[in-house]
Amino acid sequence: MTTTTNATDLPIALTGDRPTGPLHLGHHAGSLVTRLALQDETRMFVMIADTQALTDNAGDPGRVRANVTEVLADYLAVGLDPARCTIFLQSAAPALARLSMLYMNLVTVSRLERNPTVKAEIAQKGMARDIPAGFLAYPAAQAADITAFRATLVPVGEDQLPMLEISNEIARRVNRIAGRDILPESRAMLSRTGRLPGVDGQAKASKSLGNAIALGIGADELREAVMRMYTDPGHIRVADPGKVEGNVVFAHLDAFDPDRDEVEALKAHYRRGGLGDMVLKRRLAGVLETTLAPIRERRAAAMARPDEMMDVLATGSRVAAAVAEETTRLVEDAFGIIRLD
Ligand code: TRP
């Protein structure tokens, strides 16, 4: 596909991930499944957000560079198909940077400081007063990512909702400046399961917290990770009634076990007492192995052919760069930027 305008009548979707580590089960439950479904229902752009990853990894750029391939392998392994979606590298669409610079003028520092996701990240990373300016401003850059593709659908986890709010505010401001609607507003597409907790019981599975199960994990490691999962610390003897809420094993069964009725029956049994953690964990290990075995295999196949992977990224990035360029010019025109060519 080489046309830059939306040649189809399909709605446009845009989403992405920071390449700071391989993707994990939280991504799978949070947005990867939604994306697979959108491949045929939308014109979807999937972005490896290397520039955004550098906003808090500039001291360790090798990490970002190395993980571009990891994330790309994860995409291909879960079934994102370059023939049905456009996978691209953020830095390879340089118009996004021009758009970001303009958008920085449409959002206030206090608005950025109030963003709950950014606030949580600042606390979690211990940035305190040493917050990189680029990091604080990344929601404005993310607005550029979304609007450059004129996306109306953004399949993401719920932690990204504050970004969409800012993106829509910026889009409305651009439209006011332009005097016409050049940018559509977008909405998030959340998954059925919502946020997956970390294996340690923390609210969110996250690579930086080290409490997530990577999609490419080996079978033995997977079993060990499940066996170590946080359950209910008050559930000491098998006969004791156990808590389902906050129990990480049940959160994973809810997200990945296809037999919903059986999961509900197990929950009732657990609450009554008489159901041991080991029984549940064995079941979950089996369910996750069924989910991850084909992904592991496709991932290894992709990683064995790095040149082919880079070709996929280069092809997608050419398409994405052209689309972003077109929208960026519209916005630049609205700002009265002079074209000397
Ligand atoms: N902020 C997202 C994350 O941390 C990655 C991202 C960058 C993104 N640009 C985006 C997601 C645009 C959706 C739309 O995973």
Helix (H, G, I), strand (E, B) or coil at 85: coil
Under a CB-based contact definition with an 8 Å cutoff, are residues 292 and 215 in contact?
A: yes
Asked if 47 contacts 90 with a C-beta cutoff of 8 angstroms, the reply is yes
Please tell me if the CB atom of residue 18 comes closer than 6 angstroms to any atom of ligand 1.
yes
Say what the pLDDT of residue 327 is.
98
pLDDT digits (tens, 9 = 90+) for 323-333: 999 999 999 99
pLDDT in the model for residue 124? 86
User: Closest Cα to atom 5, ligand 1: which residue?
Assistant: 17
116: in domain: yes
Quick one: 92 and 36 in the same domain? yes
pLDDT score at 4:
44
Calpha distance 172→181 (Å, rounded): 8
pLDDT at 6: 54
Sorting pLDDT into bands at 50, 70 and 90, what band is 2?
very low
For residue 264, give the CATH number of its domain.
Answer: 1.10.240.10
Which of 28-42, 113-127, 252-266 has the highest mean predicted lDDT (pLDDT)? Answer: 252-266
Query: Does residue 90 surpass a pLDDT of 50?
Result: yes
The answer on pLDDT for 205 being more than 60 is yes
Residue 15 Cα to ligand 1 midpoint, Å, equals 6
Per-residue pLDDT at 313 exceeds 80? yes
Q: Within this chain, do residues 150 and 18 fall inside the same structural domain, yes or no? A: yes
Separation between Cα atoms, residue 27 and residue 206, nearest integer Å = 9
Looking at the structure, tell me whether residues 56 and 133 fall in a common domain.
yes
- On the question of pLDDT at 229 being above 90, the answer is yes
CA 331 to chain centre: 26
CA 161 and chain centroid, separation: 12
In a domain, 276, yes or no: yes
This prediction has a pTM of 0.94
Instruction: Give the mean model confidence (pLDDT) for residues 206-211.
Output: 80
Tokens in use for 262?
């059986």
CB 85 within 8 A of CB 315: no
Average pLDDT over residues 308-326: 98
Whose Cα sits closest to atom 13 in ligand 1?
Answer: 15
Q: What does the alpha-carbon distance between residue 166 and residue 198 come to, in Å, rounded to a whole number?
A: 27
C-alpha of residue 217 to centroid of ligand 1, in Å = 23
Q: Examine the pLDDT at 194 and tell me if it is beyond 80.
A: no
Same domain for 239 and 191: no
101 has a pLDDT exceeding 60: yes
Judge if 165 and 269 occupy the same domain: no
Residue nearest to atom 14 of ligand 1 (CA): 15
Helix (H), strand (E), coil (C) string for 30-67:
HHHHHHHHHHHHCEEEEEECHHHHHCCCCCCHHHHHHH
The finding on whether 56 has its CB within 6 A of some atom of ligand 1 is no
Phi, psi (degrees; rounded to nearest 5) at 112: -65, -40
Among protein residues, the one whose CA lies closest to atom 15 of ligand 1: 17
Given the structure tokens 């109030």, which residue do they identify?
114
Q: State the average pLDDT over residues 63-80.
A: 98
Read off the CATH number of the domain in which 96 is found.
Answer: 3.40.50.620
Mean pLDDT, the chain, integer:
94
Q: 14 CB less than 6 Å from ligand 1?
A: yes
**Sole residue written with tokens 């294996």:** 199
- In this prediction, residue 157 carries a pLDDT of 84
Q: Using alpha carbons, select from 318, 236, 276, 295 the residue that is nearest to residue 24.
A: 295
Residues 278 and 138 grouped into a single domain: no
Distance from the alpha carbon of residue 67 to the mean position of ligand 1, in angstroms? 15
What's the start-to-end Cα distance of the chain, in Å?
27
Which atom of ligand 1 is least distant from the CA of 14?
14
Closest CA to 163 of 321, 289, 14, 330: 14
Write the pLDDT tens digit of every residue in 37-68.
999 999 999 999 999 999 999 999 999 999 99
CB atoms within 10 A of CB 37: 12
Substitution site in 48, 52, 209 for ligand 1 pocket (most atoms within 8 Å of beta carbon): 52
Total of domains in the chain: 2
Distance 17 CA to ligand 1 centre (A): 5
Query: What is the SS3 assignment for 189?
Result: strand
Question: What percentage of the chain reaches a pLDDT higher than 70?
Answer: 98
Distance 142 CA to ligand 1 centre (A): 6
Of the candidate ranges 77-91, 123-137, 213-227, 243-257, the one whose mean pLDDT is the lowest = 123-137
Mark whether 315 and 290 lie in a shared domain.
Answer: no
Mean pLDDT of the region 124-139: 91
292 and 163 in a common domain: no
Tell me the CA–centroid distance for residue 275 and ligand 1, in Å. Answer: 40
Tell me if 16 CB under 6 Å of ligand 1: yes
Tokens standing for 259?
Answer: 């037999």
Task: Output the pLDDT for position 154.
Answer: 97
Burial-class residue 73 by CB neighbours within 10 Å (0-12, 13-18, 19+).
buried
Same domain, residue pair 27 and 151: yes
> Is residue 205 included in any domain, yes or no?
no
pLDDT at 195: 84
Q: Is the CB of 145 under 6 A from ligand 1?
A: yes
What's the gap in Å between 90 CA and the centre of ligand 1? 10
Beta pairing class for 187-189 and 12-17: unpaired
Give the whole-number percent of the chain exceeding pLDDT 90.
88
**What 3-state DSSP class applies to 168?**
helix
Does some domain include residue 131?
yes
Structure tokens at 268: 């009732």
pLDDT at 76: 98
Residue 263 covered by a domain: yes
Same domain, 65 and 106: yes
Pocket perturbation via mutation, ligand 1, pick of 46, 47, 159 by most ligand atoms within 8 A of CB: 47
Residue 204 belongs to some domain of the structure = no
Domain limits for position 251 = 219-299
CA distance 270 to 239: 9
The answer to whether residue 120 scores a pLDDT higher than 70 is: yes
- Cα(249)–Cα(231) distance, integer angstroms: 6
**In this predicted structure, what is the pLDDT of residue 243?**
97
Give every CB contact of residue 158 below 8 A, 6+ residues apart in sequence.
Answer: 30, 188, 190, 194, 195
**What's the CA-to-centroid distance between 324 and ligand 1, angstroms?**
16
Q: Comparing C-alpha atoms, which of 198, 166, 159, 201 is closest to residue 185?
A: 166
Q: Are residue 171 and residue 39 in the same domain, yes or no?
A: yes
Assess if residue 329 is contained within a domain.
yes
Q: Report if residue 141 sits inside a domain.
A: yes
Helices 61-78 & 306-334, crossing angle to 10 degrees? Answer: 100
Q: Are residues 49 and 132 part of one domain?
A: yes
User: Which ligand 1 atom lies nearest to the CA of residue 52?
Assistant: 7
